[in-house]
């Protein structure tokens, strides 16, 4: 059993073993080993195995953590509630709210099959037709999420849809102030534009908060079906168009920057990937929602992503990130701000 190797920094396997035996005896018996699943730049995700079966452990990042941004309880609660709906989620195994066990709250869930596609080259290996099918399912799954009756699945207290957009702008402005370590041209202007132009909220739904292709798993051995939606740390009840805008923001940035740009994901560059207009039209048809006015929502999406990445940049500059892929984070923020200003220009 390894508990001090760099690959499992942030996860004490001896403590996890003792806790599992007490909370879910027999669930994962025997000596444990763990691997940090790379690619995540926020909450830490570990594959833990006893040599015969794997589970996933999720915990908050190390170091500088934005208030409310890494709530393990929210992730666990929303996925547990969505079990049995049209939204694919893993089985929740156990949750720990006692920080003394491994130094932070965490939860354990079933490990689902599938690939989180980040690179266009990986999708291109599947071909344009399969890529189109996958991205159509990505949009359909988001519409299915927004169709869930949150009260019926026990999430009536999961958030406050009324005033959601106003609170979002205020929240991300506050989190920007918590993450400031340098000047970022235009970011305060973007924040002020958003403050002045909050639209009336639409109907409230469950909101994922960071919806994109590499936050779902696609099982290429089983008809390219989406097996699970992951990374629910920013989920709440709110305006569903914010999820649509985040999905489009990642896509627009990749298309604007081109290959080898250091974006979070360049998957939208793959042949067959639904265009932004096609994605919006498909979502509108499946959901029945009016998606004709997305400027504010796109501006908010770019602002939110810029703030998130600035927080990661700060943690990385302080040596408090785990895993690889952080070196270009700082350079990704200016394009986000410029895109947000373009989206909110009058």
Tens digits of residue pLDDT in 238-283:
999 999 999 999 999 888 877 655 567 899 999 999 999 999 999 9
Say if residues 138 and 227 touch (Cβ distance below 8 Å).
Answer: no
Which residue is listed with tokens 């403590």? Answer: 15
pLDDT digits (tens, 9 = 90+) for 72-107: 899 999 999 999 999 999 999 999 999 999 999 999
Q: What is the pTM of this model?
A: 0.88
d(CA 42, CA 321) in angstroms, rounded, equals 9
Average pLDDT over residues 231-241: 94
pLDDT digits (tens, 9 = 90+) for 140-162: 999 999 999 999 999 999 999 99
Is the pLDDT at 2 greater than 50? The verdict is: no
Is the pLDDT at 322 greater than 90? The verdict is: no
Question: What per-residue confidence (pLDDT) applies to 293?
Answer: 87
Dihedral Cα 115, 116, 121, 126, nearest 10 deg: 40
Question: What per-residue confidence (pLDDT) applies to 76?
Answer: 96
Looking at per-residue pLDDT, the higher value among 298 and 293 belongs to 298
Dihedral Cα 247, 227, 267, 6, nearest 10 deg: 100
Which candidate, 50, 2, 51, places its Cα nearest to that of 29?
A: 50
Is the pLDDT at 42 greater than 90? The verdict is: no
* Alpha carbon 2 to chain centroid, angstroms: 29
Question: What per-residue confidence (pLDDT) applies to 67?
Answer: 47
pLDDT digits (tens, 9 = 90+) for 43-60: 889 999 999 999 999 998
Mean pLDDT (the chain) is 88
Is the pLDDT at 3 greater than 70? The verdict is: no
pLDDT digits (tens, 9 = 90+) for 16-40: 999 999 999 999 999 999 999 853 4
Tokens of 126: 């599947």
pLDDT digits (tens, 9 = 90+) for 173-225: 999 988 887 778 899 999 999 999 999 877 899 999 999 999 999 999 999 99
Q: Tell me the CB-side half-sphere exposure of residue 27, using CA atoms within 13 A.
A: 21
Q: Tell me the CB-side half-sphere exposure of residue 211, using CA atoms within 13 A.
A: 29
**For the chain, percent of residues with pLDDT exceeding 70:** 87
Is the pLDDT at 339 greater than 70? The verdict is: yes
């Amino acid at each position: 059993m390894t508990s001090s190797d760099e690959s499992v920094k942030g996860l004490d396997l001896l403590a996890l073993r003792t806790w599992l035996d007490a909370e879910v005896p027999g669930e994962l018996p025997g000596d444990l080993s763990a691997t940090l699943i790379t690619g995540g730049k926020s909450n830490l995700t570990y594959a833990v195995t006893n040599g015969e079966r794997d589970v996933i452990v999720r915990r908050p990042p190390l170091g500088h953590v934005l208030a409310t941004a890494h709530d393990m309880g929210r992730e666990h609660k929303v996925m547990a509630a969505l079990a049995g709906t049209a939204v694919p989620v893993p089985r929740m195994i156990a949750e720990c709210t006692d920080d003394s066990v491994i130094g932070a709250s965490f939860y354990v869930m079933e490990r689902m099959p599938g690939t989180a596609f980040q690179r266009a080259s990986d999708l291109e290996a599947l071909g344009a037709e399969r890529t189109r099918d996958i991205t159509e399912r990505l949009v359909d799954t988001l519409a299915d999420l927004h169709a869930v009756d949150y009260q019926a699945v026990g999430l009536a207290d999961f958030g406050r849809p009324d005033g959601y957009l106003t609170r979002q702008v205020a929240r991300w402005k506050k989190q920007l102030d918590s993450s400031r370590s340098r000047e970022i041209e235009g970011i305060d202007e973007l924040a002020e534009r958003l403050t002045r132009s909050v639209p009336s909220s639409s109907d409230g739904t469950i909101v994922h908060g960071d919806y994109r292709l590499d936050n779902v798993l696609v099982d290429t051995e089983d008809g390219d079906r989406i097996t699970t939606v992951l990374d629910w740390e920013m989920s709440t009840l709110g305006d569903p168009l914010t999820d649509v805008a985040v999905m489009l923001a990642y896509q627009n940035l990749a298309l604007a920057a081109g290959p080898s740009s250091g974006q979070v994901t360049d998957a939208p560059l793959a042949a067959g990937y639904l265009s932004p207009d096609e994605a919006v039209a498909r979502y509108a048809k499946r959901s029945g929602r009016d998606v004709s006015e997305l400027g504010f929502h796109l501006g908010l999406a770019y602002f939110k992503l810029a703030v998130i990445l600035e927080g990661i940049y700060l943690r990385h500059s302080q040596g408090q990130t785990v895993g690889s892929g952080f070196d270009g984070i700082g350079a990704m923020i200016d394009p986000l701000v410029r895109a947000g200003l373009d989206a909110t220009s009058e």
